[in-house]
Amino acid sequence: MNIPKQVVYIIEQLEKNGFEGFIVGGCVRDYILGFLPKDFDITTDALPQDIKNIFDYTIDTGIEHGTVTVVLDRQNFEVTTYRIDGEYKDNRRPENVTFSKKIEEDLSRRDFTMNAIAYSIKRGFVDPFCGIDDIKNKLIKGVGDADTRFKEDALRMMRGVRFSAQLGFDIEDETFLAIKNNAKLTENISIERTRDEFLKLIKSNYIEKLNLLEETKLYKYFIPEIEPIFKNYKKNIFILKKLSKDLRLTFLLSHLDEKIGEEVLKRIKLDNKTIKETKTIIQYFNYNFVDNRVETRKLMSIIEPDLFKKILEIKFCISLIENDLIKCKKYDNIFDEIDETIRKNHCFSLKTLAIKGNDLKQIGITDGKKIGDCLKLALNIVLEQPDKNKKDWLLKYIGENI
C-alpha cells in the first residue's frame, strides 16, 4: 500500500516504543477497492498518555475515548487506543469504553466486516471477520451479530444503505433483516447525522439503491415526504440518474408545495441558502414555461439565472423519460436563451438597468412609488428591446411619456 510517509512514521515510532500500530477502517477498505483514501485512522495498543509521550505535538481530540491527534508536517492524524465499547443505552454512543491490548477486540466493535480490517507493514492484514472476502464479493455484512450492532448505534443502518449506494454492494440477508427489524431506532439519532448519510446516499453513483430505504422503511423515520418517489420507481430513478447530483433532493421533494418543502428542509436542518434555492425551484417547478425570449428574460428578472437553469434541467429530464421531444426542445431553447442573454450582457433585472432611482430624481420624479413604477416600465422596455438599455434614451422616454 502507498501509505503516506507521516502515517508510516507514526506506526514506526509506536513500534520502536514497544507498541503495535495499524491503519484501520475506511482507509484499508478503500485501498482494497482501489480507491485513494482521503483520511487515515491509526489504532494502537498504546494508551493515550503513551501516545502523548512518544510524539512532540499532540491534541487531546477525544482522549476519554482513547483518541489523540498527532500533528506532523502541519497535518493532523488521529491515533486511537484499541478499545471495547461499554453498554449502549441511547442507540447512539457507549456509556463508557475500556482500553484493550488486542487488535481483534477493537475490530469486533466496528459496524461492517469491510470496515473491520487493519493493516500494518510489519503484520500485513488483520481480518478476523473475513472483510476482504466480503469486499471481493461486494457484500455489506454486519460484524458478528448485526442486530446487536444496530441496537448499539442506529446510524449504522443508514450507513449500510449509503455504502450500498456508493459502492454498488448488496446487503447480506441477515444484516438486511436486522435493518428492517430495527428501522424505528433511527428516530433516536440526531437529524443532522441521519441527514448527512441520506445526502451522501442520494448523491451516490448507484442511486437505484434508494429503494433500500423503502424496503427497510428507514425513510419513514426521518423524511417520509419522499414516499411518492417509490410509486413509479423505474421512471423516477431514470430521472435521478440524469440529473446533476445537487438537484436530486429537490426532485425528491418536487411534488410538494413550496411551504411544505421549506418545512421539510428546515426539519432536517439544511443551511438557509439551500432552503431558499430549493424552495424557489419547487415554487416554479409546475410553471408553464414558454419558448419566448421576452418571457424568458422576464422570468430571469424574478428567478436567479442559475436556479432557472436548474428548474429547466429537471423538467428536461422528466420530458426525456416521457419521450416528449417537443418539450425537450422547448427547454433546450429556453436554456440557450438564458445563456445568450448573459453572454451578450443584456439587461434582465433592475440591477443591470442603465438608470437608477437617483437618475429619475434628477429629471424631477421624486415620489417613491412613481420612481418604482418608472423603473419597472424601463425594465419592461429593455426586456423586449435590449438595445434600448441606454441611460439617455430611457430618461428621455420616461420624461416624454410620464
Q: Find the CATH number of the domain harbouring 169.
A: 1.10.110.30
Interacting residues of 300 by C-beta distance below 8 A, sequence separation 6+: 308, 338, 341, 348, 349
Interacting residues of 344 by C-beta distance below 8 A, sequence separation 6+: 386
What is the rounded distance in angstroms from the CA atom of residue 29 to the CA atom of residue 70? Answer: 22
The DSSP secondary-structure symbol of 73 reads T
**Cβ neighbourhood burial of 44 (10 Å; 0-12, 13-18, 19+):** buried
Cell numbers representing residue 194 in the block: 441521519
CATH number of the domain encompassing residue 110: 3.30.460.10
Number of structural domains found in the chain: 4
Query: What pLDDT shows up at residue 402?
Result: 77
The whole domain housing 151 covers 138-222
As a whole number, mean pLDDT of residues 199-226 equals: 97
Q: Are residues 207 and 281 in the same domain?
A: no
Q: Are residues 240 and 200 in the same domain?
A: no
3-state secondary structure of 188: helix
Q: Are residues 98 and 2 in the same domain?
A: yes
The string of pLDDT tens digits covering residues 285-302 is: 999 999 999 999 999 989
Q: Are residues 2 and 114 in the same domain?
A: yes
Using alpha carbons, select from 165, 247, 171, 161 the residue that is nearest to residue 205.
Answer: 165
As a whole number, mean pLDDT of residues 153-168 equals: 97
What's the predicted TM-score (pTM) here? 0.89
User: Where does a domain end: 329, 344, 359?
Assistant: 344
Query: What pLDDT shows up at residue 91?
Result: 59
- Output b/e per residue, 185-214; b: 16+ Cβ within 10 A: bbeebeeebbbebbbebbbbeebbbbebbb
Q: Which residues face 83 on adjacent strands?
A: 99
Q: Are residues 325 and 393 in the same domain?
A: no
Query: What pLDDT shows up at residue 129?
Result: 97
Q: Are residues 340 and 235 in the same domain?
A: yes
Residue 331 confidence class, pLDDT cut points 50, 70, 90: very high
Q: Residue 167, CB half-sphere, CA atoms under 13 Å: how many? A: 24
User: Where does a domain end: 222, 237, 271?
Assistant: 222
If you write DSSP's letter for every residue of 218-260 in order, what string do you get? GGGGT-GGGGGGGTTHHHHHHHHHHS-GGGHHHHHTTTS-HHH
What is the rounded distance in angstroms from the CA atom of residue 289 to the CA atom of residue 122? Answer: 65
| Backbone phi, psi, residue 91, to 5° | 60, 25
Query: What pLDDT shows up at residue 135?
Result: 98
Query: What pLDDT shows up at residue 97?
Result: 80
What is the rounded distance in angstroms from the CA atom of residue 329 to the CA atom of residue 346? Answer: 23
Q: Are residues 173 and 82 in the same domain?
A: no
- % pLDDT > 70, the chain: 97
Cell numbers representing residue 41 in the block: 485512522
The string of pLDDT tens digits covering residues 228-256 is: 999 999 999 999 999 999 999 999 999 99
As a whole number, mean pLDDT of residues 312-341 equals: 95
